[in-house]
Chains A and B, each alone.
Chain A
């Protein structure tokens, strides 16, 4: 952000090991090859692992996730690696099938919120004036509600179900995308090439599609990756409060809620919590890595 470009060029011997070490230290987080970023690689592996689990849950799970058994609250053992819950259902199997709920639903939430927020952000940024003003006040309004309280009210109002939880989370999360996309549109709006295009007779829709949208892709992708983890967290929070997918669906947040009845049965809530933690952490690490790479604010001079 600071003007570093005006500095007189100092001859730097890039073959000097000390120089390369110093430069390497400056760019610790950015522009390193993937294999030099162990954290990012680990996050990729975790995400790939969870995607595989979601796809192969029926093959991997040792039991039916809904099948009840006499062995209620069995602690972790060879038969039930993660133990069983109050109805004797195998927690490992429920956890694996839970990936089929949380991950696709989080993706749906992010895609829908990105679509709504993206279009509104583009329109607001490109048209400007009162359209911009009105849309930004609307985002202010949504921000003034605490996310979870608004989501809670929406899903309670429409009745607790998977669809309504997703709807609620889209309603609370689109303004973030609208803000980010709008500001990236604003950065290109005054550019000469847009004026040139307009003088050449390019219509607003084409200009948006050809010149404005490509400039917003980077920030949007970064935000979507970071928000993916957030969507998993919020969805789990809603179902923890009993406002998500209906029981007996093996949703991670709802599984944690089951464990809160009896603290001594730690395995009931610890494992689903770890599942959420690993997915969200991986998304956040990936989002960070992407941002370091794409967002010039974070990549330049760091």
Chain B
């Protein structure tokens, strides 16, 4: 949350106009370099982290009995290349990475890339609808609070968003499960599909999309029902942050002279809101939504844990507790990539929405 405060404060000031296309190319090249550097940093940090610690994946993955057998431990180490010096392991990893090979997960025994391909769509199925809902609700409610600044509505929204920020996500998940699954029995207890259905043929990996594509509407409805509660929890968490940003961004716009002018020339209130306030106020909101999406991915770790949702949050949790280096690296690289790509898109959209800022 506070990270976004800092980032929002550093928003680029209005830039001088320059020829657009070369500028765009230079901008993209620079961003690509930054992204590559960032991803490289992620591999260094993760490698250092896993090697600085006393335990390794042998002690985390082998049974007590196996650990007493030095030959077995040595064989395990040799199997995963853990007997090599750290720098050799690292260079070998980088070499494979450059060839598109993320290594093999020590706990699932499958290539990390195929693990990610399996788990990422599950998480996206949760994260994308939550983000869309949170953006819609957050913008509407935040704008309402700004327009009603200082009145009862504003106070209620303020308390509501603070409540959302202060609620532990895992606890909220349990509360909604208790209410809608245990007490009311209107919702499934977790997972992606009921046991009487088998997953639809894989196209995107998202069950709702795949079952719709295959025309399996019973499966589609079942998948949607399984989505409702986790999406509800994730939306609540994200919307709380967004509302606060939308409200303060809109307040900033409301105090400008052109809003006063728009009112003064007799435009209907709603037109002023839509044409002048919404458009200008959306710029900082878009900046924040990049960070909010990253926070949402963090939130999925806890929410997936409770709803038994087989996504990257669960995968990250299991990899971290098993000290499974290739998987931890794979997840970290993926999330870092999402983070940078989302921020890149944000910066590009930024220029489109606000003509004053053309990729400064």
Contact = CB atoms under 8 A, between A and B. Distances in A.
A184 to B, nearest CB: 10
A159 B323 CA distance: 10
A5 interface: no
A281 B166 contact: yes
A161 interface: no
Given A153-B320, A253-B168, A301-B255, A144 B340 contact: yes
Interface stretch (A56-64, A82-90, A191-199, A221-229): A221-229
A137 B171 contact: no
Interface stretch (A175-183, A201-209, A210-218): A175-183
Contacts of A144: 38, 41-42, 335-336, 339-340
A28 B150 contact: yes
B82 interface: no
Interface residues of A, number: 66
A152 B316 contact: yes
Interface string B40-83: 01100110011011110000000000000000000000000000
B301 A157 contact: no
Most buried by B among A148, A226, A229, A236: A148
Interface string B303-334: 00110000000001100110100001001100
B294 interface: yes
A237 B2 contact: no
B213 interface: no
A281 B168 contact: no
Q: How large is the interface on B (under 10, 10 to 19, 20 to 34, 35 or more residues)?
A: 35 or more
Nearest to B40: A141
B170 A256 contact: yes
B166 A280 contact: yes
A180 B301 CA distance: 27
B27 interface: no
Contact of A149 (B9, B151, B301): B301
Given A152-B316, A226-B1, A263-B182, A25 B150 contact: yes
A228 to B, nearest CB: 11
A154 B6 contact: no
B331 A149 contact: yes
B323 A227 contact: no
A39 B156 CA distance: 11
Interface stretch (A12-20, A71-79, A123-131, A264-272): A264-272
Contact of A260 (B10, B149, B174, B251): B174
A169 interface: no
Contacts of A183: 6, 9-10
A236 B168 CA distance: 8
A236 B49 CA distance: 23
A281 B165 CA distance: 8
Contacts of A241: 301-302, 305, 317
Contacts of B321: 152, 156, 242-243
A147 B52 CA distance: 20
A270 B50 contact: no
A218 to B, nearest CB: 14
A26 interface: yes
B345 interface: no
A146 B294 contact: yes
Most buried by B among A25, A144, A240, A270: A144
B178 interface: yes
Given A157-B49, A259-B174, A140 B38 contact: yes
Nearest to B321: A156
A285 interface: yes
B90 interface: no
Contacts of A179: 3, 6-7
Nearest to A259: B174
A273 B176 CA distance: 13
B6 A180 contact: yes
B50 A157 contact: yes
Which 9 pairs show the lowest CB-CB distances between chains A and B? A28-B150, A273-B171, A179-B6, A146-B298, A280-B166, A281-B166, A144-B336, A157-B53, A156-B320
Interface of A: 1-2, 4, 25-26, 28-29, 39, 137, 140-141, 143-150, 152-154, 156-159, 175-176, 179-180, 183, 223, 226-227, 229-230, 233, 236-237, 240-243, 253, 256-257, 259-260, 263-264, 266, 269-270, 272-273, 276-277, 280-281, 283-285, 288, 298, 301-302
Given A145-B45, A180-B2, A273-B175, 10 more contacts: A2-B257, A143-B294, A148-B301, A179-B6, A263-B178, A273-B167, A277-B171, A280-B166, A281-B163, A288-B158
